Amino acid sequence: MTSRKPRAVPDAPPRVILGPESLSDAQFRTAVGAIDHQVDARYAWDTGVAISRFLQGLKAGEIWARYCRQCRRTLVPPRMFCEECFRPNDRWVRVADTGTVNTFSICYIRWDMVKLDDPELPFVLTLDGIDNMAGFMHKLGEVAPDDVHIGMQVEAVWKPEAERTGSILDIEHFRPRDAKLRKAKAGAKRKPAAKTRKAG
Amino acid sequence: MGQRVGVVGAGMTKFVRRANETGKELAWQAAKAALDDAGMTLDDIDCVAMGTAPDAFDGVHMKSEYLADGSGAWGKPYYRTYVGGGTGVFVTIQGWWQVASGQFDTCLVVAEEKMSSVQPHPQGAFITIFDNMIERELGPNLLWIFALEMNRYMQVHGLDKRDIAAVSVKNKRNAADHPAALLGQADITVEDVLNSETLAWPVQRLDVSPVTDGAVAVVLAAEHVAKRTTDKPVWVEGVGWHLDTAYWTNRDLYYPRYVEYAARQAYEMAGIREPRKEIHIAEPYDPFDYKELHHLEGLQLFEKGKAPEAMKDGVLNRDGDLPSCPSGGLLGVGNPIAAAGLMKIAELYWQLGGQAGARQVPGDPKKGVAQAWGDLMQVGTVVVMGR
Amino acid sequence: MFEKLSHPEDVRRVEGHIPIAHRYTPGVAGTAFFEELKEGRFVGARCDACGTTYCPPRIFCERDFEALEIDVKVGPKGTLESFTVGYTGLEGEPLDEPVTVGLVRLDGADTVLLHFLVGEAEPEIGARVEPVWRPKAKREGTILDLEGFKLSG
């Protein structure tokens, strides 16, 4: 290490490199030597012991949780060990498919920033009947965005049994428990009137 | 604790939307600038600590190896750290360990990100933040998480969006004085923010810092080296880091307790008992305007729910009682994920050393705190610096 | 303890993919290199401090950290430092025709360049090689503007 006198601090603002070369969108698209590459990363993830059971439960129209008796927490999403107590937890517990809206958003764009015609309503569900905070992310449906509020009571709307595959989408969405707050699904058409009416 | 460690130089590139420079070239530009600022060459550097967020952003495998040459690591002990957005401050902590331990006397700390590589939009690389088994099928996008947190924070405390939007205005105005800033705008108003497009309510376009390309570097030196190098080293006085559960739907998002725990570690080490009184400048992580306020509360600088009031009262302005993000932050300078956090460390070095030029906080500030956040919404990384 | 699964088929798999695409800019050094390549020329960069000439070129020397000018003519011929013949593709499938790649140190450079070896002659470490260019009209400023290297006669 070369020894030198302590350097006096300069008065001028700090040196900032004048780079980088900033490109306009057009330059970026046409730069000589630029390369496009698509990553083709495909996966088959083993869902593990806990989530396998959870997804099996969803297929049956049920929500299952794990219980840790040391910290007395009911865990959803379920996991086989309690990350706070750092021990294997104790048993499976079935929980209700109703809860409240812990928080929500009204989202007008898709993951690639393309605008949506109808906004989506992602929310965090806090399940009923559990003392600790337990639940998962899902979407609200059958409700006008302006009617959604934190604390709103909701219930799961399940897909018909034949359409359930063991996925988070086996729950179509959550809707308000209060029927007055519900509205028809977007794009729902009226059923055409029957040509003949049943007598009586 | 171990050798005392000071920051003796800092450098950065401009933060831009799309750089022609490769990540290697960006890293070199910042690292060279930091060495020049410290009056050092690579021969004076004992080891290198490099911070950069997911490989998927730049789109190269083993990004640390890829960036090693530009980070000055050729022929030197080197490693990379990565905790999402918390990286920029955490890599400083890792550099600090290396020198404080006594194993090395100098460490070059570098952080780089080239977000423009991801097509069609960097959002796509964030999709893996969501659980692959029970969340991705819902078709989420990154903004959901912020919108859900912002809504909860606002609702629990009954906050007015105006006071939050004011943070974006403050930072973009501050950034007008930063030579590296992308989004500095001296004349932006709260109305501009409130009128901007709603992306995922309550998040609007001007609440968000856009991701950018850029790199930052700082030089850390043990006390005996620092005192030979400069007559005004800025010391690393406290470090802290903390991780909360990755089960983000199982905790109340209104308060970042992981920032509190990290801050307490750092304050204790720095001997700070009353942060609000003893800290003169704060550089909390501000990828969104509400996050700055959220983090200021986690940093114990304001009570829960009270940071917006401080914004409203002018406390957080550069000439206020506790300037926050005098650099202009991510909202004003730009957001190359890892580099953004290190930019805050560099800012404290410049501010506490009286070198911040037009951005200089008046009144001879002596102590500052820098904080970064990210990962799966749950890491807090904090560094206290002082003179 | 963890429960034992009596029906392994109950462990599910979720299939998915990570849809990411990238566009890589060539960089400052890359821009210079590819523009020259398009013209059928190789350019390198030399560090005066350590004397290393890089090709492909860089804007900085990784040993000395000095800024470099990209202005050194290298090649067109070079020496074959190593080579290999590949028989399987990316996913382990057999290739119709084996592919030969080599590391070529162009005359004047201290670093090597990876590319295909073309032509019928058997490669040998230390052999002299020369570039085979794509027809000029087809060059776009990418590494494929070179078809590869062939052994010099």
pLDDT at B233 over 50: yes
Structural domain count of chain A: 1
> Measured between alpha carbons, how far is A139 from A120 in angstroms, rounded to an integer?
7
**Per-residue pLDDT tens for B140-173?**
988 999 999 999 999 999 999 999 999 999 999 9
User: What contacts C83, CB < 8 A, 6 or more positions away?
Assistant: C100, C101, C102, C103, C117, C123, C125
What per-residue confidence (pLDDT) applies to A192? 40
Average pLDDT, stretch A35-47?
88
Q: Tell me what pLDDT residue A13 has.
A: 45
More confident residue, B352 or B233: B352
Token pair of B147, please?
A: 């919108």
A31 interface with C at CB cutoff 8 Å: yes
If one compares A199 and B272, the residue with the highest pLDDT of the two is: B272
Q: What is the mean pLDDT of chain B?
A: 95
CA-based nearest residue to C74, from C115, C127, C112, C101: C112
Question: In chain B, pLDDT over 70 holds for what percent of residues?
Answer: 100
The whole domain housing B60 covers 5-120+210-386
Domain count across chain B:
1
| pLDDT tens-digit readout, B353-385 | 999 999 999 999 999 999 999 877 899 999 999
In a domain, B140, yes or no: no
Give the DSSP H/E element, type plus range, for residue B48. strand B47-51
Q: What's the rounded Cα separation, in Å, for the pair B354 and B286?
A: 23
This complex has an ipTM of: 0.92
Amino acid at C120: E
pLDDT given for residue A161 in this prediction: 96
Q: Say whether residue A28 is in contact with chain C using an 8 A CB cutoff.
A: yes
For B35, name the nearest residue in chain C, comparing CA atoms only. C65
CA-to-CA distance for B148 and B142, rounded, in angstroms?
A: 10
Residue B204 has pLDDT above 80, yes or no: yes
- Are C26 and A32 inside 8 Å of each other by CB? yes
Q: State the angle between helix axes of B23-38 and C27-38 in degrees (0 to 180), rounded to the nearest 10.
A: 130
Closest-CA residue to A134 (of A98, A166, A90): A98
Q: How far apart (Å, rounded) are the C-alpha atoms in residues B379 and B295?
A: 11
**Tens of pLDDT, residues B49-83:** 999 988 888 888 889 899 999 999 999 999 999 99
Strand pairing report for B5-12 and C146-151: unpaired
Of chain C, the percentage scoring pLDDT greater than 90 comes to: 82
The verdict on whether omega for the bond into residue C56 sits within 30 degrees of 0, i.e. cis, is yes
In CATH terms, C24-151 corresponds, of 2.40.50.140, 2.60.40.740, 3.40.50.150, 3.30.379.10, to: 2.40.50.140
- Closest partner residue to B74 among C14, C19, C62, by Cβ? C62
Contact assessment for residue C20 and residue A18, using Cβ atoms and an 8 Å cutoff: no
Measured in angstroms, the CA of A163 and the nearest CA of chain B are apart by 15
Question: To 10 degrees, the CA torsion angle through C119, C123, C128, C134?
Answer: 30
The verdict on residue A130 lying in a domain is yes
Q: Is A31 among the domain residues? A: no
Query: How far C17 CA sits from the closest chain B CA (Å)?
Result: 9
Query: Which residues of B fall within a CB distance of 8 Å from C19?
Result: 124, 127
Higher pLDDT, B97 or B184: B97
SS3 content of chain A, % helix, strand, coil (to 5): 15, 35, 50
pLDDT average, residue stretch B220-234: 93
Angle formed by the axes of helices B289-298 and B161-175, nearest 10°: 100
B244 is written with which tokens?
């909360």
**A39 within some domain:** no
With bands split at pLDDT 50, 70 and 90, how would you rate the model's confidence at A8?
A: very low
Q: At what angle do helices B289-298 and B257-270 cross, to 10 degrees?
A: 50
- Indicate the pLDDT class of residue A114, thresholds 50, 70 and 90: confident
How close does chain C come to A8, measured CA to CA in Å? 25
Residues with Cβ within 8 Å of residue B364, at least 6 apart in sequence: B354
Q: Are B7 and B233 in contact (CB under 8 A)?
A: yes
- Using alpha carbons, select from A11, C47, A20 the residue that is nearest to residue B33: A20
- At residue A18, the pLDDT reads 56
Cβ-Cβ contacts under 8 Å, B11 against chain A: 14-17
H or E segment at B55?
helix B55-58
* Out of C25, C26, C60, closest to residue B28 by CB: C60
CB of C35 within 8 Å of any CB in chain A? yes
Show the beta-strand stretches assigned E in B150-286. 198-201, 203-204, 213-222, 234-243, 281-283
Chain B residues in contact with C58 by the CB 8 A cut-off are 24, 69
Distance CA C150, CA C153 (A): 9
How far away is chain C from the Cα of A103, in angstroms, using its nearest Cα? Answer: 27
CA angle B131, B129, A133 (to 5 degrees): 60
Give the per-residue pLDDT at C3: 61
Residue B275 in any domain: the answer is yes
Using an 8 Å CB-CB cutoff, list chain B residues near C33.
none
Chain C touched by A113 (CB under 8 Å): no
Would B187 be classed as within a structural domain? no
- Chain B contact present for C50, CB below 8 A: no
A14 with B155: Cβ contact below 8 A:
no
Question: What pLDDT sits at residue C90?
Answer: 86
Answer whether the bond into residue C57 is a cis peptide, omega within 30°: no
Range of the domain at A140: 48-181
Q: In the numeric block, which tokens belong to residue C65?
A: 């950290």
Confidence label for B342 from pLDDT (cuts 50, 70 and 90): very high
Give me the residue from B28, B59, B136 closest to C16, CB to CB.
B136
pLDDT, tens digit, 9 for 90 and up, residues C54-91: 999 999 999 999 999 999 999 999 999 999 999 999 88
CA distances from A189 to A175, A183, A185 (A): 19, 13, 9
Q: Is A116 on the interface with B (CB under 8 A)?
A: no
Q: What is the pLDDT of residues B292-313, one digit of tens each?
A: 999 999 999 999 999 999 999 9
Per-residue pLDDT tens digits for C21-53? 899 999 999 999 999 999 999 999 999 999 999
B24:C27 CB<8 A: yes
What confidence tier does A4 reach under pLDDT thresholds 50, 70, 90? very low
Which residue on chain B is closest to C14 by alpha carbon? B133
* Closest alpha carbon within chain A to B46: A1
Contacts of A189 by beta carbon, 8 Å cutoff, 6+ apart: none
What pLDDT was estimated at residue B56?
82
A9 shares contact with chain B (CB less than 8 Å): yes
One-letter identity of residue B14:
K
Pick the residue with more confidence: B274 or A189?
Answer: B274
Nearest CB to B124; choose among C19, C27, C30? C19
Using pLDDT thresholds of 50, 70 and 90, give the confidence band for residue B317.
Answer: very high
**C65 and B35: CB-CB below 8 Å?**
yes
- The CATH number of the domain holding residue B326 is 3.40.47.10
Distance separating alpha carbons of residues B60 and B185, to the nearest angstrom = 34
Domain boundaries in chain C? 24-151
**Are the Cβ atoms of B74 and C60 closer than 8 angstroms?**
no
State how far the Cα of C61 lies from the Cα of B24, in Å rounded to an integer. 11
Output the pLDDT for position B127.
83
Neighbours of B137 (CB within 10 A): 15
In a domain, B240, yes or no: yes
Q: What is the pTM of this model?
A: 0.92
Least trusted range by pLDDT, from B338-342, C5-9, C92-96 = C5-9
pLDDT at position B290 over 50: yes
Q: Which pLDDT does position C9 carry in this prediction?
A: 66
- Distance (Å, rounded) from C-alpha B284 to C-alpha B84? 15
Q: Is the pLDDT of residue A186 over 70?
A: no
- The reply to whether A17 touches chain B by the CB within 8 Å rule is yes
Lowest mean pLDDT among A70-84, B177-191, C39-53: B177-191
User: A168 and chain C: CB distance < 8 Å anywhere?
Assistant: no
Q: What is the mean pLDDT of residues A2-18?
A: 43
**Chain B contact for C30 (CB, 8 A cutoff):** yes
Q: C90 and chain A: CB distance < 8 Å anywhere?
A: no
Interface contact C28-B128, CB threshold 8 A? no
Find out whether A173 and A138 touch, Cβ atoms under 8 Å: yes
Query: Between residues 102 and 141 of chain C, which touch chain A (CB distance below 8 Å)?
Result: 140-141
Q: Looking at beta carbons, which residues of chain C come within 8 Å of B59?
A: 20, 22, 24
Give the confidence band of C5 by pLDDT, cuts at 50, 70, 90.
low
**Chain B residue with Cα closest to C21:** B119
DSSP 8-state assignment for residue A131: S
Question: Residue B158: what pLDDT?
Answer: 97
In a domain, A110, yes or no: yes
Which of A13, A120, A168 minimises the CB distance to B134? A168
Interface test with B, best of A37, A124, A164 (most B CBs within 10 A): A124
CA distances from B237 to B4, B38, B200, B272 (A): 8, 20, 40, 10
> Any CB–CB contact under 8 A between A35 and chain B?
no
- C28/B21 Cβ within 8 A: yes
For testing the chain A interface, which of B36, B249, B257, B345 should be mutated: the one with the most A CBs within 10 Å? B249
